[in-house]
C-alpha cells in the first residue's frame, strides 16, 4: 500500500514525503522488482536456414530453463529474450542487431544459424562492445579471421567435422589410394567446409579431385549429380556438405540416381527431419555429427530430451544440443558477472566450462571456440522408428577434434 493512501486527503503531498522519509520503516513504498535482463537473438526465422533457426531457439530456451531451474531468473532478475528474424540476409541481421543494442539495450546477443550472417554481427559486437554467443553457425573463420574479444561460440566449427573423420580414417589404416570429390553450397560455410575436408582427408593420404559449388537456394540437384557421375574415373569418395531447405532433396536425388552404389558418400550427418524423410535410403552411411540425442548420457541431455519430446513431439534435433549449451553459457556468465557489465561478461565467458548435453565443453580463452567431443556414426536402419539411426562407432575427444589456434 502506498504511503499517500495512509494519510488524510487534506495532508499536503510534501508532508507525505516528509513522513515517508522520517518514518521510512512504517510508510516506505514497496521496492520495485529488479529490471529484466534483455538478451537478443538474431537468427533465421525464415529463409533457407529457418529449420536450423527453429532448432536453435528451442534448444536455447530449454538451456536457459535448465540453468535457472525453471525460473528464468538470475539474481532475482528475469531473463527476457527478444528475437529478431535475419531472413538469411547479412544486412537484415546487422540492422536487427543494431536495434537490439541501441533500442532494447540487450546485455548479450545469441545466434545466428547462417555463417554469412554472423560476420556483420561479429563486427557489431566488437563495435558496440556487446558479447555475442554464436550458435549454430559453423564457419571456422568466425573464431579466426573475424574474431574479436566480444565473440564466443558454443557451436562446433567446420574444421571439427573434417578433423574427426580424419581421426576415424587414421585409426583404420588411413586413406592412401582413395580419391575424393566435394559438393558444397556456394557461401562461406561451404567454402570453409571444403577447405577443411580437403586438408583433413589429404592428411590421411587421400587424393583431392576437385569440388562443385551450387547456390544455397538450389532445390533441384539433377545437373550437379549428373556432372559428378560423368567423371572418369569416378571418385571413390564424395564429400557432401550442405545446409538449408534443399538438403533433403539433394540426398533423395542422389539415391534416385544410384550414386550411393557407385561411391562412398561421407560428410556431416543431418538433423532429425532429414533422417526421418530419407527412411532406409541412407542405411550404412558413415559420417560425423556433433550431437544425436541417444549418444550422450548425462543429466543435461536427459532434461533436454524429455522436455523437447514433451513440447515438440519429436526428439531434440541436431542443433538443439549446442544451442542448449548457449543458454547455459548465458546464464552462467550473468551469474558470474553479477550483472550485465560487458567486460565482466566477457571475462566470465572466456575459459568457461559448460556441463551441457554433450558433457563438458570448454570455451578456449585464446579463440573463444567451444572445444567438445564429436561423434563418427554409422546410420543403421531401425524399423521401430522408421529411419536410419546415427549409431556411434567412434567418439573423438575434445582434444582430438580441437581446431588449431589462430595465428595472430
pLDDT the model gives residue 248: 84
C-alpha to C-alpha distance for 122 and 143, rounded to whole angstroms: 10
**What's the grid cell of residue 193?**
567446409
Residue ranges and CATH numbers for the domains of the chain are 1-30 (no CATH), 37-156+296-371 (3.40.50.2300), 159-289+374-401 (3.40.50.2300)
C-alpha to C-alpha distance for 210 and 324, rounded to whole angstroms: 37
Residues whose CB is less than 8 angstroms from the CB of residue 349 and which lie 6 or more positions away in sequence, other chains included: 131, 133, 152, 329, 333, 363, 368
DSSP 3-61: GGGGS-TTS-HHHHHHHHHHTHHHHPPPPPPPPPEEEEEEE-SSSTTHHHHHHHHHHHH
pLDDT the model gives residue 94: 98
Contact 368, 347 (CB under 8 A): no
- Tens place of pLDDT per residue across the chain (408 aa): 333 333 333 333 333 333 333 334 444 444 557 899 999 999 999 999 999 999 999 999 999 999 999 999 999 999 999 999 999 999 999 999 999 999 999 999 999 999 999 999 999 999 999 999 999 999 999 999 999 999 999 999 999 999 999 999 999 998 999 999 999 999 999 999 999 999 999 999 999 999 999 998 999 999 999 999 999 999 999 999 987 778 889 988 998 999 988 999 999 998 887 888 788 888 888 999 999 999 999 999 999 999 999 999 999 999 999 999 999 999 999 999 999 999 999 999 999 999 999 999 999 999 999 999 999 999 999 999 999 999 999 999 999 999 999 876
pLDDT the model gives residue 408: 61
The position carrying cell 533500442 is 103
pLDDT the model gives residue 355: 98
pLDDT the model gives residue 23: 35
DSSP 136-185: S---GGGGTTT--TTEEE-S--HHHHHHHHHHHHHHTT--TT-EEEEEEE
DSSP 300-336: HHHHHHHHHHHHHSS---TTHHHHHHHHHHHHHHHHH
pLDDT the model gives residue 245: 74
For the entire predicted model, the pTM comes to: 0.88
Q: How many CA atoms lie within 13 A of 289 on its CB side?
A: 27
Strands 77-85 and 73-74 come out as antiparallel
CA angle at 124 for the pair 154 and 408, rounded to the nearest 5°: 65
**What's the grid cell of residue 217?**
537456394
Task: Give the H/E segment covering residue 365.
Answer: none
Amino acid at each position: 500500500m502506498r504511503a499517500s493512501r495512509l494519510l488524510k486527503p487534506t495532508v499536503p503531498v510534501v508532508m507525505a514525503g516528509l513522513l515517508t522519509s522520517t518514518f521510512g520503516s512504517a510508510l516506505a513504498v514497496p521496492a520495485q522488482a529488479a529490471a529484466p535482463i534483455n538478451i537478443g537473438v538474431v537468427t533465421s526465422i525464415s529463409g533457407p536456414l529457418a529449420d536450423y533457426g527453429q532448432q536453435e531457439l528451442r534448444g536455447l530456451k530449454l538451456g536457459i530453463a535448465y540453468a535457472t531451474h525453471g525460473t528464468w531468473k538470475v539474481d532475482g532478475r528475469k531473463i527476457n529474450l527478444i528475437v529478431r528474424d535475419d531472413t538469411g540476409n547479412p544486412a537484415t541481421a546487422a540492422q536487427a542487431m543494431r536495434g537490439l543494442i541501441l533500442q532494447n539495450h540487450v546485455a548479450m546477443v545469441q545466434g545466428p544459424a547462417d555463417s554469412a550472417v554472423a560476420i556483420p554481427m561479429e563486427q557489431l559486437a566488437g563495435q558496440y562492445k556487446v558479447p555475442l554467443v554464436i550458435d549454430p553457425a559453423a564457419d571456422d573463420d568466425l573464431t579466426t579471421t573475424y574474431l574479436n574479444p566480444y565473440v564466443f561460440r558454443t557451436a562446433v566449427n567446420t574444421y571439427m567435422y573434417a578433423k574427426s573423420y580424419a581421426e576415424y580414417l587414421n585409426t583404420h589404416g588411413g586413406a592412401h589410394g582413395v580419391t575424393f570429390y566435394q559438393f558444397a553450397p556456394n557461401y562461406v560455410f561451404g567454402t570453409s567446409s571444403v577447405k577443411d575436408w580437403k586438408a583433413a582427408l589429404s592428411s590421411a593420404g587421400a587424393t583431392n579431385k576437385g569440388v562443385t559449388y551450387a547456390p544455397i537456394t538450389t532445390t533441384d540437384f539433377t545437373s550437379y549429380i549428373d556432372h559428378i557421375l560423368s567423371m572418369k574415373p569416378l571418385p571413390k569418395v564424395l564429400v557432401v556438405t550442405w545446409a538449408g531447405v534443399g538438403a533433403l532433396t539433394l540426398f533423395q536425388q542422389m539415391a534416385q540416381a544410384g550414386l550411393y552404389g557407385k561411391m562412398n558418400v561421407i560428410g556431416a550427418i543431418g538433423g532429425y527431419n532429414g533422417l526421418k524423410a530419407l527412411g532406409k535410403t541412407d542405411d550404412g552411411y558413415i559420417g560425423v555429427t556433433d550431437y544425436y540425442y541417444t549418444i550422450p548420457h548425462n543429466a543435461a541431455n536427459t532434461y533436454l530430451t524429455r522436455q523437447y519430446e514433451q513440447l515438440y513431439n519429436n526428439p531434440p534435433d541436431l542443433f538443439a544440443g549446442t544451442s542448449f549449451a548457449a543458454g547455459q553459457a548465458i546464464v552462467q556468465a550473468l551469474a558470474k558477472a553479477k550483472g550485465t557489465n560487458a567486460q565482466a561478461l566477457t571475462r566470465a565467458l572466456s575459459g568457461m566450462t559448460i556441463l551441457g548435453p554433450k558433457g563438458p565443453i570448454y570455451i578456449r580463452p585464446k579463440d573463444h571456440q567451444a572445444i567438445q567431443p564429436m561423434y563418427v556414426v554409422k546410420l543403421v536402419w531401425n524399423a521401430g522408428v522408421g529411419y536410419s539411426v546415427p549409431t556411434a562407432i567412434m567418439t573423438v575427444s575434445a582434444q582430438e577434434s580441437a581446431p588449431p589456434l589462430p595465428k595472430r
